[in-house]
Amino acid sequence: MLRCLITGGAGFIGSHLAEELIAQGEQVTVIDDLSSGCLQNLAVVGDHPRFRFVQGSILDRNVIAELLAEADEVYHLAAVVGVGQVAQSAIQTIKTNLHGTLVLLEELARVAPGRQVRLLLPSSSEVYGNNPRPQWEEDDCLVFGPTTSRRWSYGLAKALDEVLALAYWREKGLPVVTVRLFNVSGPRQTGQQGMVLPRLVEAALGGGPLIVHDDGRQVRCFVHVADVVPAMIALMRNRRAIGGVFNIGSDEPVTILELAQRVAAMVDPGLKIEFRQFAAEYGSNFEDCRRRVPDLGRLRQTIGFAPRHKLQDIIRDVIAWHRGQSSAQR
């Protein structure tokens, strides 16, 4: 039985990860400050004898050191996420995402030398910035916009996270695996942080209109959280993955306009779709990426990854979860 620590484990991805690790027979500790996650996400595992929840911050060095002393694996999911939050609070984004990772790495090096406590660092497709290539490979250049645009603070912080983690692998021997996540979605994801699919679903279930920014021709690839979690665990436990960087996503590109149309078709084909400029919501200097498609070759070669869920499955599951939430609140 492995002792697994999940930072930010009360969030969308972290809660699904906690469930899967418990199902595999592991012991799981979650630390979360509940700034964006919630205990309801952990309802399935909350009373399990092999589960423990600690309310606290990744920035609290003493608490982190205590938890790391009892861990065999660390999944570092604590982060400020979502376009809306990032655009409004660049300082908090950088402080939590970058400093939190530094605290974790420093304490791992101090508390667990020689124990080979493995760390999985979830990064983001945001690190590629505005790279013009039609499909992004892990060794491609990272192309960011100007520092005057707050939009890049998240991607820059995540890129520095990766640099730090890989430096600790090379210089301190800490076994680290980095994953770049591409538009993960599924049950428990809400639109509060600006995630596009749940926002469209929430708008549709509320009677519309569904808001699409700019011309809606931005291309994304959505992947189900139920495909992402097993991939993260498999990479964590694969020796060939240590010191590596891996894209995790799907190979089913879709425009945001088409996504909105598919959501509407599954809820109410009569719903209206409205177009809105990014500036109206995120400020005049907001920049968006036109195309974000991962190359999954390295992931397939390492763990044989193949997403089981199609986009239609993801949309259906997100709609079903939000409908269930609405019914529970009545």
Q: Which amino acids are annotated catalytic? A: 154
Non-local CB neighbours of 86 within 8 Å, separated by 6+ positions: 80, 93, 150, 151, 153, 154
DSSP element (H, E) containing 118:
strand 118-124
Distances in whole angstroms, Cα of residue 63 to Cα of each of 56, 66, 105, 189: 8, 5, 14, 28
Q: Which of 213, 262, 233, 248 shows the shortest CA–CA distance to 84?
A: 213
Q: Which of 295, 144, 172 shows the shortest CA–CA distance to 243?
A: 172
Rg (alpha carbons) of the chain, rounded to whole number: 19
Residue 306 · residue 248 · CB < 8 Å: no
Burial environment of residue 256 by CB neighbours within 10 A (0 to 12, 13 to 18, 19 or more): buried
The CA angle 41-161-222, to the nearest 5 degrees, is 50
Non-local CB neighbours of 274 within 8 Å, separated by 6+ positions: 209, 210, 211, 212
Give the count of beta carbons closer than 10 Å to the beta carbon of residue 163: 11
3-class SS at 151? Answer: helix
